[in-house]
Amino acid sequence: MGNNTNNANISRMHELVSKLNHAAKIYYQGQDEIMSNYEYDSLYDELESLEKETGIVLSTSPTGKVGYEVMSELPKEEHGYPILSLDKTKDVDALQSWLGNNEGVLSWKLDGLTVVTTYDNGKLVKAVTRGNGTVGEVITANAKTFVNIPLTIPHKGRIVLRGEALIKYSDFEKINENITNTEDKYKNPRNLCSGSVRQLNSKITAERNVFYYVYSLIDSTIDFKTRIDEMKWIESQGFEAVEYDLVTHDTIKDTVNKYSELIKHNDFPSDGLVVTYNDIEYGIKLGRTAKFPRHSIAFKWADETATTTLLEIEWSASRTGLINPVAIFEPVELEGTTVTRASVHNVSTVETLKLGIGDSISVYKANMIIPQIADNLTKSGNVIIPDKCPVCGENTIIKNDNDIKTLICPNNDCLAKQIKSFTHFVSREAMNIDGLSEATIEKLIAEHIINEPCDFYHLDRFEETIINMDGFGQKSYNNLISSIENSKKVQLPNFIYSLGITGFGLSNAKVICKHYDYDIEKIMNAEFDELIVIDGIGEVLAKEWINYMSNPSKKKNIDDLLDIITIEKPVITNTSMVLEGVTVVITGNLELFDNRNDLKKLIEDYGGKVTGSVTGKTTYLINNNISSTSGKNKKAKELGIEIITESDFLKKFNLNN
């Protein structure tokens, strides 16, 4: 098989894995399906066929999911080959001089965690971190969950590869938002990747979206004459190789310039470039110094710095209790963009830099992306560490962990810590207000705009402030206000769910609303003895309900909201609960309903229950393709559960669509 054909097959496999996994995710979340069972099975069969043809199975392939592994500790192992670092230069002329009249291969210097992988008989058998270059930690189970790593490859001989595990900037931002403990917060994708790759539970690694990019073949039974041939072969085995280009003395400067433009838009972290002699034998003959091999050199961009004036230190409280210092300075141009602020990380950094308002500071973009303070030229040290939380006004404390000082708000009732509840309040199945991410809500709290849920309905009083917030403008503001206006009409179960009462998801909210005939007054004043007799509630949930409703501040929040919103009482056209006690799972394409939610609503209106998984408690599986070989059909047949078409189900219970 030619390399071009094989590469096309591998590219198609990545595409199929992405499509199938996305379809499965949507399907199992109970949302409208994005493809039919027929299309899914067809793509699945195509993927299986390509896996057999190429001998490659990707780690995320639905044809062979990897089981997770939990370990008590990561075992250590000595590398069979020293994993050396590289000599470095920031001078492109020096880079050109180093290359001389030789051909070289230029590629990214990725900023992640070096991982050495071993394949034997076509299977991934071992993965070890770089460690100190001599001894690393064995992370084989975790490596098998990397997003793009092949578990099997066509080559059956033993090979050892060196690559970089990394987390993309987009995933880093999403993951970091959801880490609640202060000590677990990560400062950059590299720290997050290191913590993710070295987890004792591989399930956690899998949730972190770690990618693996190969950049060299350490050991193999195959002899390659050039690095280019080696890299092409690596790609033919199903690996994603780090991006690379062939360079000469005459082209290296232009290629470096090309990469310096690309890095501004890259989603993956990189802290420079690597150049390796294309002639492998020549590079090996050069040997190595005590620290570096002579066949390669790293190039790091000289950071573009600018001098500006520090205007203030903004202290921003977060949902973890950590109060982060942010430097605000006179606007400067860096790497083609205007920069006005930079994270200062913690109290220790403020003290080390001896920051003071009015100081002359030099700033740069780390890896040409993240604004940082390089130096303080004045060092007046007049910044005062606040003794009060900027959000709640409570006394702050300075925490010292491993000689790193951080500022903390210890108040559990601090508004900044309520971001999760506010995010829940505006979510789609609750009040359904678009345009309010956790990050946006955090900004609104910092601006003292949001103190309680009803404040979301008064955002029009702060138009100018919101428009000028990072990431906002007039259009996004207008869309937000429109969404808020639309959310004022809400179904009672969604409103109850939005309150975030412990244990009361949307399903239980619907149960309690039905029991009290959608009467909000009766619902708010429900007694414990009344609640415990409702099917699905019980003593624990009844206590949670009573505790919530007896809290004066919670009750006031509800009253304030009811003065603003309109509860839409559902029109109940049927009085018969013919589906009471019936549990239904819906799968496949529908013919009589626009989507599954419409059929689900009808079933619930007649007293039935709709779940996402087939279990022993399932009464019917609705699937218009009864002969389908889908997982749910197979499960239903195993458990003796009746599979019924949508039309026959409606006829069986004389239901009206």
pLDDT digits (tens, 9 = 90+) for 159-190: 999 999 999 988 888 776 665 444 455 677 88
Given the residues 52, 76, 88, 109, select the one marked as catalytic.
109
Neighbours of 570 (CB within 10 A): 14
Phi-psi bin for 365: left (phi > 0), alpha (psi -120 to 50), beta?
A: beta
* DSSP letter assigned to residue 222: S
Q: Which pLDDT value is given to residue 558?
A: 93
Is it the case that residue 39 has pLDDT exceeding 80? no
Q: Which pLDDT value is given to residue 84?
A: 77
Which comes out higher in pLDDT, residue 3 or 453? 453
Nearest to 99 by CA among 249, 307, 210, 232: 249
Q: Which pLDDT value is given to residue 30?
A: 35
Is it the case that residue 26 has pLDDT exceeding 70? no
Whole-number Å distance between alpha carbons of 96 and 275: 10
Nearest to 210 by CA among 33, 66, 422: 66
- The verdict on whether 144 is a catalytic residue reads no
Q: Residues with Cβ < 8 Å from 6, sequence gap 6 or more?
A: 54, 236
Q: Which pLDDT value is given to residue 203?
A: 83
Whole-Å CA distances, 279 to 59, 105, 229, 496, 654: 33, 10, 10, 69, 78
Hey, what are 206's tokens? 């899998």
Per-residue buried b or exposed e for 392-407, using 16+ beta carbons within 10 Å of the residue's own CB: eeeebeebeeeeebbb
Three-state DSSP state, 641 = coil
Whole-number Å distance between alpha carbons of 49 and 111: 36
Whole-number Å distance between alpha carbons of 235 and 249: 26
Whole-Å CA distances, 322 to 175, 315, 368, 383, 419: 17, 10, 27, 18, 13
pLDDT, average across residues 386-404: 87
pLDDT confidence tier of residue 289, bands split at 50, 70 and 90:
confident
Q: Which pLDDT value is given to residue 27?
A: 45
Q: Which pLDDT value is given to residue 35?
A: 55
Q: Give the Cα-Cα-Cα angle 44, 48, 53 (nearest 5 degrees).
A: 145
Three-state DSSP state, 273 = strand
Hey, what are 372's tokens? 């940082």
Cβ–Cβ under 8 Å, residues 408 and 387: no
pLDDT confidence tier of residue 423, bands split at 50, 70 and 90:
confident
* DSSP letter assigned to residue 182: G
pLDDT, average across residues 302-321: 83
What's the whole-number average pLDDT of the chain? 84
Q: Which pLDDT value is given to residue 318?
A: 73
Whole-number Å distance between alpha carbons of 73 and 64: 26
pLDDT confidence tier of residue 505, bands split at 50, 70 and 90:
confident
Amino acid at the residue 174: K
Nearest to 590 by CA among 652, 653, 639, 649: 649
Phi-psi bin for 287: left (phi > 0), alpha (psi -120 to 50), beta?
A: left
Q: Which pLDDT value is given to residue 99?
A: 95
Cβ–Cβ under 8 Å, residues 130 and 115: yes
pLDDT, average across residues 416-440: 84
Strand partners for 312? 328
Whole-number Å distance between alpha carbons of 196 and 350: 29
pLDDT, average across residues 415-433: 84
Which comes out higher in pLDDT, residue 221 or 576? 221
Question: What element of type H or E holds 444?
Answer: helix 438-446
Cβ–Cβ under 8 Å, residues 462 and 469: no
Whole-number Å distance between alpha carbons of 408 and 293: 46
Whole-number Å distance between alpha carbons of 129 and 131: 5
Is it the case that residue 317 has pLDDT exceeding 70? yes
Nearest to 210 by CA among 270, 261, 144, 123: 144
Hey, what are 209's tokens? 């979206």
Nearest to 629 by CA among 45, 44, 61, 37: 37
Whole-number Å distance between alpha carbons of 183 and 401: 9
Q: Which pLDDT value is given to residue 573?
A: 53
Rounded to 5 degrees, φ, ψ at 213 are -115, 125
pLDDT confidence tier of residue 252, bands split at 50, 70 and 90:
very high
Per-residue buried b or exposed e for 271-304, using 16+ beta carbons within 10 Å of the residue's own CB: bbbbbbbbbbeebeeeeeeeeebbbbbbbebebe
pLDDT confidence tier of residue 76, bands split at 50, 70 and 90:
confident
In this structure, the strands spanning 88-89 and 296-299 are parallel
Hey, what are 23's tokens? 């379809």
Q: Which pLDDT value is given to residue 122?
A: 92
Per-residue buried b or exposed e for 581-619, using 16+ beta carbons within 10 Å of the residue's own CB: ebbbbbbbbbeebeebeebbebbbbbebbbeeebeeebe
N- to C-terminal Cα distance for the chain? 55
Whole-number Å distance between alpha carbons of 470 and 440: 9
Whole-number Å distance between alpha carbons of 195 and 207: 12
pLDDT, average across residues 187-208: 83
Is it the case that residue 574 has pLDDT exceeding 80? no
Beta strands, E only, 346-502: 360-366, 370-376, 397-401, 404-408, 489-491
What proportion of the chain, given as a percentage, has pLDDT over 70?
Answer: 89
Is it the case that residue 303 has pLDDT exceeding 80? no
Q: Which pLDDT value is given to residue 20?
A: 83
pLDDT confidence tier of residue 379, bands split at 50, 70 and 90:
very high
Amino acid at the residue 296: S
Largest Cα span, the chain: 88
Cβ–Cβ under 8 Å, residues 582 and 641: no
Cβ–Cβ under 8 Å, residues 183 and 401: yes
Beta strands, E only, 205-354: 211-219, 244-247, 270-277, 296-299, 306-317, 322-334, 337-343
Chain centroid to Cα 318, Å, comes to 19
Q: Which pLDDT value is given to residue 182?
A: 42
Beta strands, E only, 289-427: 296-299, 306-317, 322-334, 337-343, 360-366, 370-376, 397-401, 404-408
